[in-house]
Structures are given as structure tokens and as C-alpha cells.
Amino acid sequence: MKPLTTPTRRAAAAGLVAAPALLRGAAWAAGRPVTVASLLGEDKPETRIWRHIAETLSRTAPGRFDLRIVPNAALGGEKEVAEGLRLGSIQASLSTISALSGWVPQGQILDLPFLFRDRDHLRRVLAGPLGTELKAQYEAQGFVVLGFVNYGARHLLAKEPLTTPASVRGKRIRVIQSPLHTALWSGFGAYPTPLPIPEVYNALRTGVVDCMDLTKSAYAGFRLYEVVPCLIETGHIWASGVVMVAAPFWKALAPQDRDALAAAASEGAAHFDALMQADEGASMAQAAAGGGEVFQPEDRAGWQEGARKVWAAFAPNLGGMERIETIASSA
């Protein structure tokens, strides 16, 4: 899979956005145009959630919204898409919490390694005061969060089974552009290299980086098993995300349209989580058929010790260690 170059992505995006206009012309007048960016294809939850939201709105707000969904990262990686929302060229997208950490560093509390026991623990925490607090902080930066989603656990992906903390020492690892992710892997002695997701396949294929971490769904979605056939099931971070819209777009909506979109997005977030859980099994079957293998991590205590160092380093900016410990031990 050869990622598109930036000019090609932009040309493709222009064509994808313009195509409905050529087909429907003045029909857009019946609904507010909404450009939606998705990183993956039509078969993946990242795009299917928006098809689901569009179908919901066709029933609950007929003729009021025209969602133009642009898949396959044609509008760029997560950071580019987030910048597009702030500039107003994109109206809606999903994003991982990690990709938004440059704007809302407080969100990194959700990225603390080994903080959450399982997806239900994460869901309960986000349904409480922390979720409300984070929504306000994202909106202050131009991102209106209509719901939280769970992409699944992040696992280590490599060309060889790096099953112990010591085995990643000296490896060049692709990371999200996040200080926390950089600190995590630096602490294990690896060399973090921030790269947008559309560039990762070629970087792994050509040896620019040796390994990375990602969810099972995206591992198959980007066909990464072709270049990093070993998935080490570390589950070190639950990849939280948001369903978000651009603040200027949101503020321009009539109250009844805000209510309709918020309700559709909230229902869509629950649908996404169900899709993602189902997709993980299909994704790993696809990876196995393509030569991917799953390995269990060794020295889990060593992995968790490295995680605790990240907790301590980031605690002063995330409400203190007592707050982190309270989240970790919450029911």
C-alpha cells in the first residue's frame, strides 16, 4: 500500500468533495454542506460511523444536512484534519485524543499507559466529571466534542517479536505527535519518530522506523501486517477518541439543528464502539491471512514500571498523582 503524496491527497480530496456537486447541483440548497474527513475506507468503523450519522439525520432532520464524507485520509492525517477544522475547511471528523494533545494537553490523562483496566472502566470515567471538563477544554480550542469513542487498545507492532521492555531499546519507533507517547518510548530506550499515519507504511517498509504502536483495527486497515508482521499484545493504552465538529460551524447552526446533530453523533458514538469491537476480530483474521502473528508480552511488571514513570512525569500537568491514582482505582 503506497500512501498518497500530499498534492495527490489534496487533488483527490478536491475531487471527492466536488463530485456530489456535479451530480446533484442545486440539491445542496436543501441541506447544509458538511465536509467530513475519515482516515480509513468505507469498510472501517471510522467511515461507517459517519454513514450511520448521515442516515440518522435523514430521518431526524430531513433536508437539513448534507454530509460529504471523504475517506482514506484524502484530507490528510489527524493533525492536518484538526487544523482543517480550526480553519473551517473541514466541518467534522473523528480524532484520537493523542492527536489533539498539542491543543489540549490535559487530554493526555486518557493516554496514560496502563491507567484503564478495560473499555468499560474508560467509558465510566468519561461519563463523569472528567468527560465534561475535557469537552469544555476542547471547545475552547475550536473543537466541539459531541461524543467520546474507543478505538481499542494500542499494541506494539514490529518486524520481530519485541516482547520485553529491553527489546525495544535502540529501536526507532513511530509515534503520534504527542509528548506523552514520546516520553513513554524514550523511557524504554527507543528513539521516537513522529510521523503522520499516511506516511507510516512506507517508513516501515524502507526502514525509516522499525516499529510502532496502533490498534488492531487500524493495523489491518492500513495493511501494516505486510511490513510489521508481529503484533505484541501489550494493550498499553486505550485509544480514546472524539466525534468532533468545528466550533464556527457549530455556532452557526440553529438550535434545533444542533440538537439533531448532537443526538445523531451521540448515538453514532455508541454504534462506533460496537462496530470497533466487531471489527477487531475481522481485522486480526485479515492480518493472520496476510502473514501477521500475535505474541504475548513478557515481563509485564517491567512494562508497567515504565508506565508509572510516565504517570509521575506528567502528573503535575494532569491534576496530580492522587487524581491519577483515583482514576486507576475507580470502580
Tens of each residue's pLDDT in the chain, 331 residues: 333 333 344 444 444 444 433 333 333 346 999 999 999 999 999 999 999 999 999 999 999 999 999 999 999 999 999 999 999 999 999 999 989 999 999 999 999 999 999 999 999 999 999 999 999 999 999 999 999 999 999 999 999 999 999 999 999 999 988 889 999 999 999 999 999 888 999 999 999 999 999 999 999 999 999 999 999 999 999 999 999 999 999 999 999 999 999 999 999 999 999 999 999 999 999 999 999 999 999 999 999 998 899 999 999 999 999 999 999 999 7
Q: What is the pLDDT of residue 24?
A: 35
CA–CA distances in Å: residue 88 to residues 83, 104, 175, 234: 9, 19, 27, 38
Show the 3-state SS of the chain. CCCCCHHHHHHHHHHHHHHHHHHHHHHHHHCEEEEEECCCCCCCHHHHHHHHHHHHHHHHCCCCEEEEEECCCCCCCHHHHHHHHHHCCCCEEEEECHHHCCCCHHHHHHHCCCCCCCHHHHHHHHCCHHHHHHHHHHHHCCEEEEEEEEEEEEEEEECCCCCCHHHHCCCEEEECCCHHHHHHHHHCCCEEEECCHHHHHHHHHHCCCCEEEECHHHHHHCCHHHCCCEEEEEEEEEEEEEEEEEHHHHHHCCHHHHHHHHHHHHHHHHHHHHHHHHHHHHHHHHHHHCCCEEECCCCHHHHHHHHHHHHHHHHHHCCCHHHHHHHHHCC
What local confidence, expressed as pLDDT, does residue 30 receive?
63
| Strands 211-214 and 92-96, bridge-based pairing | unpaired
Residue 168 to residue 299: CA distance in whole angstroms = 13
C-alpha cell of 187?
523511557
Cα distance between residue 101 and residue 218, in whole Å = 20
What whole-number distance in Å separates Cα of residue 62 and Cα of residue 86? 27
Q: How far apart are CA 4 and CA 10, in angstroms?
A: 9
Q: pTM of this prediction?
A: 0.82
In angstroms, how far is CA 271 from the centroid of its own chain? 16
C-alpha cell at 77: 492525517
Would you state the pLDDT for residue 2? 35
Q: Determine the longest span between alpha carbons in the chain, in angstroms.
A: 62
Strands 172-175 and 92-96: what pairing? unpaired
Cell of 272: 462506533
Q: Which fold is adopted by the domain 6-329?
A: D-Maltodextrin-Binding Protein; domain 2 (3.40.190)
What are the C-alpha distances in Å from 296 to residues 131, 187, 286? 32, 21, 19
pLDDT score at 177 = 81
The answer to whether residues 150 and 187 touch, using CB atoms and an 8 Å cutoff, is: no
User: Domain ranges in the chain?
Assistant: 6-329
Please state, in angstroms and rounded to a whole number, the distance separating the CA atoms of residues 172 and 209.
Answer: 5
Taking the C-alpha atoms of residue 109 and residue 124, their distance in angstroms, rounded to an integer, is 15
Half-sphere exposure of 33 (CA within 13 A, CB side): 16
